[in-house]
Amino acid sequence: MTNESITVFEKVKKINKHNLEFWSARELGNILGYSEYRHFLPVIEKAKESCFNSKQPIIEHFEDYLDMVKIGQGAKK
């Protein structure tokens, strides 16, 4: 794969210890143009609902994960 063919989604893809791919919702929200994460949360909920409606186990596609975010003056919470 050449650098030109790597999509923005491939660039932010992460791989866990089980060699499974995943993406951070915070990063995806930014990439998709949401000004704040809270505005992206309803999109995530709709995606979970679609997963449920198609009889896919939500737990296999979405995992609640709390990552540290930077707040004022370099602090994290």
Return the higher-pLDDT residue of 68 and 22: 22
Question: 0.85 cut: is pTM over it?
Answer: no
- pLDDT tens for 29-66 read 999 999 999 999 999 999 999 999 999 999 999 987 76
The vertex-46 CA angle with 45 and 49, nearest 5°, equals: 90
Tally of structural domains, the chain: 1
Give the residue numbers spanning the domain of 43. 3-74
Return the higher-pLDDT residue of 2 and 59: 59
User: Is the per-residue pLDDT at 1 higher than 60?
Assistant: no
> 77 near 70, Cβ under 8 Å?
no
